[in-house]
Amino acid sequence: MDLLIELKEKATGSAGEARALPYAAYIDDDLYELERKQIFHGDWVFACNEFSLKAPGDKFAFNIAGEPVVILRGKDGELRALSNACRHRGTLLADEGFSSGTSNLVCPYHSWNYTEDGALRGVPYPGNVEINKKAHCLPRFALTVWNGLVFVNIDGKAEPLEERLAGLAPYIEYNINGEVNTGTEDKPEYWDTNWKLAMENAMESYHLFKVHKPTLEVVSPTRGVTYLEGSAHWSITAGEAVNPLPGWLGWLNRDLQEEGYYLLISLPPSFVGVITPQGLFGYVVTLPDGVGRCYVRGGSVSRNLRAPRGLFKKFIDKFLEEDKLISERAYKGMTARATAGGQLVELERIVVDFHQYLAMRLFDAKPDENYKCQEAAKRLKAAEPA
């Protein structure tokens, strides 16, 4: 069967009947090119949190599926997303990652330089050639900020993100106790796996009891996870948060003491966040760097945030390493042709939503309506403090 036909058939399956995607969908070069155009260049993609770009001249440069982008804070305080490729001969203007300095952009190759809004300001030694500056401006991309998180849309045609995520507002506003005002960013890693495998792994809790037995399973057991609400646009699960330390050991790490429920939020195509009982909104972003390699970076936003540290930070690093190893191992199995993916279980309903998102973006398929588990919502409501 043609891969696209099979992918559409599998990706449009509803919860209870859906099956895993065809393995070839994770290693096919032609499909990756379609994903670049239809998903990563046609939809809102998470970049960083706005609190890491506080001062004029602060920048964040990254790559959205082959498109170099730089986000910078201007002297007027505005955040802008511009092409990070010089209009002369394509050299990257800003170094990958975070940097600070002037809000202007200067090419390290021939010093063509641009203003903070992308206008070509100067060209050294043009000789007798007259450079049309208006024809050599940097392309500007759509940018929006949602709860302190910065998203970019390359083609500028995506629906307003605030409207798409409106249903998440009650969960966000209550659980982080007001507007976020601070954030942190971790250094990126590159994993040898397809971006979809890394995203599926980040959002589903079915693997906690096996892959994360010494880490996450201890503080957020698989048995306590339930699907709360969602669709192809966004999904949210809730899980029981357990204090792993006896009371008399609480002084060792106060960050792991609070019990209650955590919320896991999936915002396709590349963002998965977790709100802890302490009100920390931690996240992982996954972006493709080719068919079999992806860029993974963590971070967090919150109200009056205290960045993870000590035992808590070591704990996070440990379970992310577990995720990396299992995602890379899964990728090695995607060459199999003598077998096919099986039925998705109830704990993988959030993965079903993600697959329907893929079908919506790649094939313009109509996803299922938003579903809310009323029983889970009641249990979560009952657990809220008075």
Query: 108-156, pLDDT tens digit by residue?
Result: 999 999 999 999 999 999 999 999 999 999 999 999 999 999 999 999 9
Residue 305: per-residue pLDDT: 67
pLDDT of residue 199 exceeding 60, the answer is yes
Average pLDDT taken over every residue of the chain = 91
The CATH-assigned architecture of domain 46-145 is 3-layer Sandwich (2.102)
Residue 279: per-residue pLDDT: 81
pLDDT of residue 57 exceeding 70, the answer is yes
Q: What does the pLDDT average to over 44-50? A: 97
Residue 14: per-residue pLDDT: 97
pLDDT of residue 276 exceeding 90, the answer is no
Residue 172: per-residue pLDDT: 85
pLDDT of residue 259 exceeding 80, the answer is no
Residue 384: per-residue pLDDT: 62
Residue 313: per-residue pLDDT: 80
Q: Measured between alpha carbons, how far is 68 from 89 in angstroms, rounded to an integer?
A: 14
Q: Higher-confidence residue: 109 or 246?
A: 109
pLDDT of residue 257 exceeding 50, the answer is no
Q: What does the pLDDT average to over 232-240? A: 95
CATH number of 3-41+167-383: 3.90.380.10
Q: Higher-confidence residue: 281 or 378?
A: 281
Residue 179: per-residue pLDDT: 76
Q: Higher-confidence residue: 249 or 203?
A: 203
Stated pTM of the model? 0.93
Confidence class of residue 385 from pLDDT cuts 50, 70 and 90? low
Residue 253: per-residue pLDDT: 43
Residue 178: per-residue pLDDT: 67
Q: Measured between alpha carbons, how far is 58 from 49 in angstroms, rounded to an integer?
A: 12
Confidence class of residue 252 from pLDDT cuts 50, 70 and 90? very low
Closest CA to 248 of 239, 257, 260, 236: 257
Domain residue ranges of the chain, discontinuous segments joined by +: 3-41+167-383, 46-145
Share of the chain above pLDDT 90, in %: 78
333-358 pLDDT tens trace:
999 999 999 999 999 999 999 999 99
Q: Measured between alpha carbons, how far is 273 from 301 in angstroms, rounded to an integer?
A: 10
Q: Two tokens at 277?
A: 């009982």
Closest CA to 370 of 383, 357, 384: 357
Residue 250: per-residue pLDDT: 44
Residue 246: per-residue pLDDT: 45
